[in-house]
């Protein structure tokens, strides 16, 4: 499987698990609680496979973490009524920019 597809699956698992963690209300709701466990198992399992296949750990973790942070922040703002302001948006852009620079540096 292509490495960036594996990375996308790991990111999707982490995002689903993290959003479900909030929705689980301290693990008092069964369905979101199951999604937390399954999502993190998928995220870490696929990330481990990616690293075993030789993808650089620094780049993989940076992309995984930054994409997860950005996606969870956007989902929180759009669907969970969580606040967002220009400072926070700027911070997300800086995180994403940093990851892009890591990936560009890897290409050289």
**Mean pLDDT, consecutive 10-residue segments, the chain of 108 residues?**
95 98 97 98 98 93 92 94 93 89 79
pLDDT at 59: 87
pLDDT at 96: 87
Domains in the chain, number: 1
Helix/strand/coil for 24: coil
pLDDT at 106: 74
pLDDT at 65: 92
Domain containing 92 equals 3-106
Give CA 45 to chain center in angstroms: 14
């Amino acid at each position: 499987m292509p490495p960036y597809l594996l990375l996308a699956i790991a990111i999707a698992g982490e995002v689903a698990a993290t959003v479900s963690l909030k929705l689980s209300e301290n693990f008092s709701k069964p369905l979101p609680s199951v999604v937390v466990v399954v999502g993190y198992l998928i995220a870490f399992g696929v990330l481990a496979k990616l690293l075993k296949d030789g993808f650089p750990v620094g780049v993989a973790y940076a992309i995984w973490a930054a994409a997860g942070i950005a996606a969870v922040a956007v989902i929180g703002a759009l669907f969970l009524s969580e606040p967002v302001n220009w400072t926070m948006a700027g911070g997300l852009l800086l995180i994403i920019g940093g990851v892009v620079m890591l990936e560009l540096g890897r290409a050289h």
